[in-house]
Amino acid sequence: MEMEPDLSDLKIGFIGAGNMAFGIAQGLLMSGKVQPANVMVSAPSDNNLGRFQERGMVVSHCNADVVHSSRLVFLAVKPHLIPIVLQEISPAVTLRHTVVSVAAGVTIATLEQLLPSSTTVLRLMPNLPCVVQEGALLFSRGSMAGGEESELLKALLAPCGLVEEGPESWIDAHTGLSGSGVAFVYLFAEALAEGGVKMGMPSALANRIAAQTVLGAGRLLRDSGKHPAQLRSEVCTPGGTTIFGLHVLEQGGMRAAAMGAVEAATERARELGRKKDQLKCAKSTK
């Protein structure tokens, strides 16, 4: 039986104080294994730092301070800021540090090139529901990251939702499926509610019921372990309301549209990643 990593004395830093950093930080504290005083967060202004400070975390305007004070550092800034931030903090990064990037489209190769040689790097792709500890997170190891770092990240992030590890080639597909997929679900929930309004239900009530329908269906799908098709068939009765409704969705091409949306979002993520790599190469040759 593997021993769970000891997190009580681990010093953790966040460079960037947006919603994703806040969601992950909240998850870390919810476990009770990470003390707020052991978490430090930096951002250029006070706009987003107050909510971290209210929960007992240390805040700063200096990114280098975060690196000096931490062993595990989350890079949670916009992708276009990654080269600037890494240039700033690189002198403070040592072999004792583990750097975890949540910047979309920034590859492990880019991170490893911009950071000092032999830096331990992992790439993490969370999604918006991390802010309510119901996220879907996928991470990949860099060339210097091993099983110890993998187990540490899994133990830390478990309160944030589902945490999976896979090759970096899966990250873009995860972006299309789960990162962008959250918006696809919201669109479907919106359409469900509008259907209720069309049939005479008050808008506010229709939206509450649509939200609960999505939540309940998702929990049942996750917790039952059944395939979606099996659960769908269990709702249908011969000649009943559900099969008539499903027929209309199939006629409208919903299945193909959903698959196409995931494909389009994935390809866009790959395209953005290639552009960032090209930019990195261009800068490195100057």
pLDDT in tens, 118-151: 999 999 999 999 988 899 999 999 999 999 999 9
Distance, CA of 68 to CA of 86 (rounded, Å): 14
Residue (of 84, 118, 126, 128) closest to 101 by Cα position: 126
Q: Is 72 in contact with 152 (CB distance < 8 Å)?
A: yes
* pTM metric for this prediction: 0.88
> Does 100 have pLDDT greater than 60?
yes
Do 151 and 181 lie in a common domain? no
Distance, CA of 168 to CA of 267 (rounded, Å): 14
Q: How confident is the model at residue 277 (pLDDT cuts 50, 70, 90)?
A: low
Do 160 and 178 lie in a common domain? no
77 is known to lie in a ligand binding site: yes
Distance, CA of 5 to CA of 183 (rounded, Å): 35
Q: What is the pLDDT of residue 15?
A: 97
33 is known to lie in a ligand binding site: no
> Does 5 have pLDDT greater than 70?
no
Do 143 and 16 lie in a common domain? yes
Q: How confident is the model at residue 1 (pLDDT cuts 50, 70, 90)?
A: very low
56 is known to lie in a ligand binding site: no
Do 99 and 215 lie in a common domain? no
Do 161 and 200 lie in a common domain? no
Q: What is the pLDDT of residue 177?
A: 96
Mean pLDDT in residue range 11-17: 96
CATH code at 93? 3.40.50.720
* Residue 104 domain-assigned (yes or no): yes
280 is known to lie in a ligand binding site: no
CA–centroid distance for 215 within its chain? 19
20 is known to lie in a ligand binding site: yes
Mean pLDDT in residue range 188-217: 98
Do 90 and 159 lie in a common domain? yes
Mean pLDDT in residue range 214-233: 97
Q: Is 93 in contact with 112 (CB distance < 8 Å)?
A: no
Q: Among 150, 166, 182, give the residue marking a domain's end.
A: 166
Domain that holds residue 58: 12-166
89 is known to lie in a ligand binding site: no
Distance, CA of 107 to CA of 234 (rounded, Å): 42
Kindly state the percentage of the chain with pLDDT values over 70.
94
Q: How confident is the model at residue 105 (pLDDT cuts 50, 70, 90)?
A: confident
Q: Provide the domain count of the chain.
A: 2
15 is known to lie in a ligand binding site: yes
Q: Edge-to-edge strands of the sheet including 161-165?
A: 58-60, 39-42, 12-15, 72-75, 98-101, 120-125, 135-141, 161-165
Do 234 and 209 lie in a common domain? yes
Q: What is the pLDDT of residue 279?
A: 56
Do 178 and 157 lie in a common domain? no
Q: Amino acid identity, residue 249?
A: L
